[in-house]
Chains A and B, each alone.
Chain A
Amino acid sequence: MTQDITRLSASDLASALRNKDVTSVEATQAHLDRIAAVDGDLHAFLHVSSEEALATAAEVDAQRAAGAELHLLAGVPIAVKDVVVTKGLPTTAGSKILEGWIPPYDATLVERIKAAGLPILGKTNMDEFAMGSSTEHSAYGNTKNPWDLDRIPGGSGGGSAAAVAGFEAPLAIGTDTGGSIRQPGAVTGTVGVKPTYGGVSRYGLIAMASSLDQAGPVTRSVLDAALLHELIGGHDPHDSTSIDEPVPGVVAAAQQGAQGDLKGVRVGVVKELSGEGYQAGVSARFDESLDQLRALGAEIVEVSCPSFGYALDAYYLIMPAEASSNLAKFDGMRFGLRVEPAEGPVTAERVMGATRGAGFGDEVKRRVILGTYALSAGYYDAYYGSAQKVRTLIQRDFAAAFEQADVLVSPTAPTTAFKFGEKLDDPLAMYLNDIATIPANLAGVPGMSLPNGLSDDGLPVGFQILAPAKADDRLYRVGAALEAALESRWGGPLLNQAPELKTTELAR
């Protein structure tokens, strides 16, 4: 092939593999070469699994040569966020406390990826335990935004988003507890989907907040996201909260949407997720996208979700409460880092304290302390209990809004990518990045972010679509329609406008 393999979308690469224009080994090697060339700057990967990826690729090539029936995405390489456990591959969740830990089992979604024959390129960087919106909280250094290396790639899944935006991988897995797939998608000009809670198995995701966490696709196109969504989604008996129903027809919906007809689709603009606090360029692109949707035949209605104003507050009680309990297991007793106290007796309690003190970063400690406090006797009702009530109100707001609209829309994030260090010392400012994405997690509904242009600063802006629980297909129909219209206006994907990354000579 003359075209650069790494610039292909996953679906185009899959076609090329099927047509035997390219082998999986070639495709995998091309991405490994790209990683070697640009990841020194980007630092999207914490671990690159070249050997394993090439072995999978060779196996798929052999199977294809033998005429075996293969999965549509067989042979297409993928990157996996380091919060997902991978048998035999280091899994740190971006934390020192798991440095060197090699999981003895695969997450269910990894099993599905392996069964379908997608070579796993490696594990991507993230905020420690997925706590953050900039990937600056990784214990292993910052990931850079391919659009501007001085800026954050979003978080917590900055590694997955940067890897896809930087053409190091056509596909990646992210996880989204309060926006960790969608917000990095917005600031890197990529597509990210948080499926309905329970749509993708959480078995093997290192939990932050069990009732909010959800894994999903990180890609460069809506169709690619749908293909990956169908692969990893569906019921898993190992996850009690997994939905025991078939995955909604997201690929068909994406294909339908790409036809560009949204007649009869009611699009609800959430009044509370716009206006003050949103960067002018972000608001401008959002309004243009609404016009675009209208032009495609959609009916635009305004809806009000008054409880969304409390979402951030509720989230910052529920999430740390669950996290404080989920992270209790990291104690140096069974796996990962173990630190003995510098002086005094070496008791289990003191080893646990020393290990957690040395192994956790500040943001993790902040949330563990917050959550521990919120769950304490005497405070439970006031904090955790009240937050759960707000959660119910937010679910009701969604239910009412979805009476009036088939999908809801908003800007994904209030601003474009900010500079490193800009918000690091101001946790509240950092938390505000997720103001538009958090309500979906609290209600368990699916959400998508897709690029809808560049802001005045030349950086990408994200457009968020939300749908009712188990109606993930609506995201794809509307998303694909908007994407097609925007790309025809731009003359190609937004990422074509991203600056070329400096490549270093292959020195492996």
Chain B
Amino acid sequence: MTAATTTGLVAYEDAVRRYDPVLGIEVHVELGTLTKMFCAAEVAYGGEPNTQVTPVSLGLPGALPVVNGKAVEYAIRIGLALNCSIAESCRFARKNYFYPDVPKNFQTSQYDEPIAFDGWIDIELDDGEVFRVEIERAHMEEDAGKNTHVGGATGRIQGAEYSLVDYNRAGIPLVEIVTRPIEGAGERAPEVARAYVQTLRDIFRTLDVSEAKMERGNVRADVNLSLRPTPESPLGTRTETKNVNSFRSIERAVRYEVSRQAGVLDAGLTVIQETRHFHEEDGTTSSGRVKSDAEDYRYFPEPDLVPVAPSREWVEEIRATLPEMPVARRRRLQTEWGYADAEMRDVVNAGAMDLIEATVAAGTSAAGARKWWMGELARRANQDEVALEALAVTPEQIAQLQGLVDSGRLNDKLARQVLDGVLAGEGDPEAVVAARGLEIVSDDGPLLAAIDEALAAQPDIVEKVRGGNQGPIGAIIGAVMKATKGQADAKRVRELVLDRIGS
């Protein structure tokens, strides 16, 4: 260990006051194709080890790769969504290195000819500020297998008795997206890093190219970070923190590296260019491989594959069918719904945007839909500790429920009781209303009977009202509502009471 790794940490706020952080992020996304990048082995999560393999994905002698056309299409979709140019022709290359989880001892990747390049993406920070991240390239490659180290205390390779390799993951198509240096993030660098990966995750899902589950490793981020004294200074030496696999970890890892590197620089030392590992337990990073003498992967064009040359017509066809990107959609919906920035942010954070959109589509006003999903339903989801979308009620049912309120057939209190019924699986709101007999009583006959009863029971109040003091009328109305089990329209009851007393 060198002295650099033992220097102290500088408080984050202090560090970013004196140093300008520059980020570079590499994101790997596993594509949700049915088969692997170069063979017909199935792509599925959680299979018995080494069952989703072919001679190709096991790297058996004689086996040859064939490019998965769907994976190319997905890579182009990603490239287009990131505003990249799509190569007219590009080749695969071999990245040579010996490791047991790489069956051929080379990874088939793209080197100097990525399928997509020169793009950008706007990300939205928590306060609504838009930050543009420039994309250097997005290229196709294959995933490695998975090593499991057995024996030993840590589950790491050091101290293990033996290791097992599962090649089910080997050959799963990946797209790696590499940013240009992300400058100007300043103290918000951790948030920018997190928001960028989050935005990519949302884009992958919107494009339907990956399940994009961070916890399954469908999306993996390597975060490069360097510090420099001022934004005008040349770039400092960077470290690459590998496989930071949750949004929170990305923020923490960046914060930690800023503090750590500031400590190194404050001590008058130089940052070592190296790979670092992030530790979830305490939010620190530790030194991995030193990269200073740039590992020699002996890249050369993959002679077993012909160049991939997507026709311009095909690229345009794909472009024409791209779905609306999340940030654009969010902006459009906010405008359509007339929500304030804070309201919209809450809606997005609560995961209610799709639900509200569907509810509005089913005929409810934007305000009405928001009232339900961010109010009563959010409360219940919170209570049950489930996601909003996991509640046993559909946007269509909420729209129907609100329709009953709007038409005066239910009041808010009754509507909540109807919701109880819907959530209990008693059917649509209409069905619950019918079954539970919860509709507002609009027929004057039964109301008048209840009113007369109430008036007779409280003659003193009748007197006061007749005397011009309408204050105590609430007591009469309350008694009527109680007698009708809340199903009376309070406004109508009031009218009838005044009418009765006045006559």
Footprint of B on A, CB under 8 Å?
A: 84-85, 91, 93, 98, 101, 103-105, 107, 202-207, 209-211, 237-241, 321-322, 324-325, 328-331, 333-335, 348-349, 352, 372, 375-377, 380, 384
Q: Are A203 and B63 in contact (CB under 8 A)?
A: yes
* B96 neighbours in A (Cβ, 8 Å): 324-325, 328, 375
Q: A329-B105, A377-B294 are in contact. Are A210 and B304 (CB under 8 A)?
A: yes
Q: Are B59 and A329 in contact (CB under 8 A)?
A: yes
Q: Are A348 and B61 in contact (CB under 8 A)?
A: no
Q: Would you list the 10 A-B pairs with minimal beta carbon distance, nearest first? A: A328-B105, A210-B303, A375-B298, A211-B303, A204-B62, A85-B62, A206-B61, A377-B296, A329-B59, A329-B104
Q: Are A241 and B104 in contact (CB under 8 A)?
A: no
Q: Are B300 and A203 in contact (CB under 8 A)?
A: no
Q: How far is the CA of A105 from the CA of B57 in the complex (A)?
A: 13
Set A104, A207, A376: member contacting B55, Cβ < 8 A: A104
Q: Are A334 and B58 in contact (CB under 8 A)?
A: yes
Looking at B62, B65, B294, the one whose CB has the most chain A CB atoms below 10 A away is B62
Identify which of residues 287-304 in chain B touch chain A, using a CB-to-CB cut-off of 8 Å. Answer: 294, 296, 298-300, 303-304
* B300 neighbours in A (Cβ, 8 Å): 321-322, 325, 375, 380, 384
Set A202, A238, A328: member contacting B104, Cβ < 8 A: A328
Between-chain CB contacts (< 8 Å), 19 pairs: A98-B61, A105-B62, A107-B62, A203-B63, A206-B62, A207-B62, A210-B303, A239-B64, A321-B300, A322-B300, A324-B298, A325-B106, A325-B298, A334-B58, A334-B59, A334-B103, A335-B61, A375-B300, A376-B298
Minimum CB–CB distance for B51 against chain A, Å: 14
Q: Are A240 and B303 in contact (CB under 8 A)?
A: no
Q: How far is the CA of A207 from the CA of B305 in the complex (A)?
A: 14
Q: How far is the CA of A333 from the CA of B103 in the complex (A)?
A: 9
Q: How far is the CA of A238 from the CA of B64 in the complex (A)?
A: 7
Nearest A-chain residue to B300, judged by Cβ: A375
Nearest A-chain residue to B67, judged by Cβ: A240
B94 within 8 A of A: yes
Q: Are B62 and A203 in contact (CB under 8 A)?
A: yes
* B64 neighbours in A (Cβ, 8 Å): 202-203, 238-240
Identify which of residues 49-72 in chain B touch chain A, using a CB-to-CB cut-off of 8 Å. Answer: 55, 58-67
Identify which of residues 107-166 in chain B touch chain A, using a CB-to-CB cut-off of 8 Å. Answer: 163, 165
Q: How far is the CA of A45 from the CA of B105 in the complex (A)?
A: 31
Q: How far is the CA of A240 from the CA of B69 in the complex (A)?
A: 12
* A384 neighbours in B (Cβ, 8 Å): 300
Nearest B-chain residue to A211, judged by Cβ: B303
Interface residues of B, dominant DSSP: loop
Q: A325-B300, A375-B96 are in contact. Are A103 and B62 (CB under 8 A)?
A: yes
Nearest B-chain residue to A385, judged by Cβ: B300
Q: Are A205 and B103 in contact (CB under 8 A)?
A: no
B314 within 8 A of A: no
Q: A91-B61, A205-B62, A333-B100 are in contact. Are A241 and B304 (CB under 8 A)?
A: yes
Nearest B-chain residue to A347, judged by Cβ: B157
* B305 neighbours in A (Cβ, 8 Å): 240-241
Known contacts A206-B62, A322-B300, A325-B96; 16 additional CB pairs below 8 A are: A84-B62, A101-B61, A103-B62, A104-B55, A105-B63, A205-B62, A207-B61, A239-B66, A240-B66, A321-B300, A325-B298, A328-B104, A328-B105, A329-B61, A348-B100, A377-B298
Q: How far is the CA of A206 from the CA of B99 in the complex (A)?
A: 21
* B322 neighbours in A (Cβ, 8 Å): none
Q: Are B98 and A328 in contact (CB under 8 A)?
A: yes
* A322 neighbours in B (Cβ, 8 Å): 300, 303
Q: Are A348 and B60 in contact (CB under 8 A)?
A: no
* B65 neighbours in A (Cβ, 8 Å): 240
Q: Are B106 and A328 in contact (CB under 8 A)?
A: yes
Q: How far is the CA of A93 from the CA of B60 in the complex (A)?
A: 13
Minimum CB–CB distance for A22 against chain B, Å: 34
Minimum CB–CB distance for A198 against chain B, Å: 9
Q: How far is the CA of A397 from the CA of B165 in the complex (A)?
A: 49
* B59 neighbours in A (Cβ, 8 Å): 329, 334
Q: How far is the CA of A345 from the CA of B303 in the complex (A)?
A: 36
* B165 neighbours in A (Cβ, 8 Å): 333
Minimum CB–CB distance for B287 against chain A, Å: 20
Q: A240-B65, A240-B67 are in contact. Are A104 and B60 (CB under 8 A)?
A: yes
Q: How far is the CA of A325 from the CA of B103 in the complex (A)?
A: 12
* A84 neighbours in B (Cβ, 8 Å): 62
Nearest A-chain residue to B99, judged by Cβ: A348
Minimum CB–CB distance for A241 against chain B, Å: 6
B424 within 8 A of A: no
Minimum CB–CB distance for A253 against chain B, Å: 28
* B350 neighbours in A (Cβ, 8 Å): none
Minimum CB–CB distance for A239 against chain B, Å: 5
Q: How far is the CA of A203 from the CA of B96 in the complex (A)?
A: 21
Identify which of residues 80-113 in chain B touch chain A, using a CB-to-CB cut-off of 8 Å. Answer: 94, 96, 98-100, 103-106
Looking at A209, A241, A328, the one whose CB has the most chain B CB atoms below 10 A away is A328
Nearest A-chain residue to B59, judged by Cβ: A329
B306 within 8 A of A: yes
Minimum CB–CB distance for B103 against chain A, Å: 7
Q: A210-B304, A240-B305, A384-B300 are in contact. Are A352 and B98 (CB under 8 A)?
A: yes
Q: How far is the CA of A84 from the CA of B61 in the complex (A)?
A: 9
Minimum CB–CB distance for A322 against chain B, Å: 6
Q: Are B62 and A349 in contact (CB under 8 A)?
A: no
Set B63, B99, B106, B306: member contacting A241, Cβ < 8 A: B306
Q: How far is the CA of A205 from the CA of B305 in the complex (A)?
A: 15
* B63 neighbours in A (Cβ, 8 Å): 105, 203-204
Nearest A-chain residue to B298, judged by Cβ: A375
Q: How far is the CA of A375 from the CA of B303 in the complex (A)?
A: 14
Minimum CB–CB distance for A205 against chain B, Å: 6
Nearest B-chain residue to A336, judged by Cβ: B61
Q: A240-B67, A328-B98 are in contact. Are A93 and B61 (CB under 8 A)?
A: yes
Q: How far is the CA of A186 from the CA of B273 in the complex (A)?
A: 57
Nearest B-chain residue to A202, judged by Cβ: B64
Q: How far is the CA of A85 from the CA of B59 in the complex (A)?
A: 13
* A375 neighbours in B (Cβ, 8 Å): 96, 298-300
Nearest A-chain residue to B66, judged by Cβ: A240
Q: How far is the CA of A334 from the CA of B145 in the complex (A)?
A: 13
Q: How far is the CA of A329 from the CA of B106 in the complex (A)?
A: 8
* A324 neighbours in B (Cβ, 8 Å): 96, 298
Minimum CB–CB distance for A476 against chain B, Å: 27
Minimum CB–CB distance for B19 against chain A, Å: 32
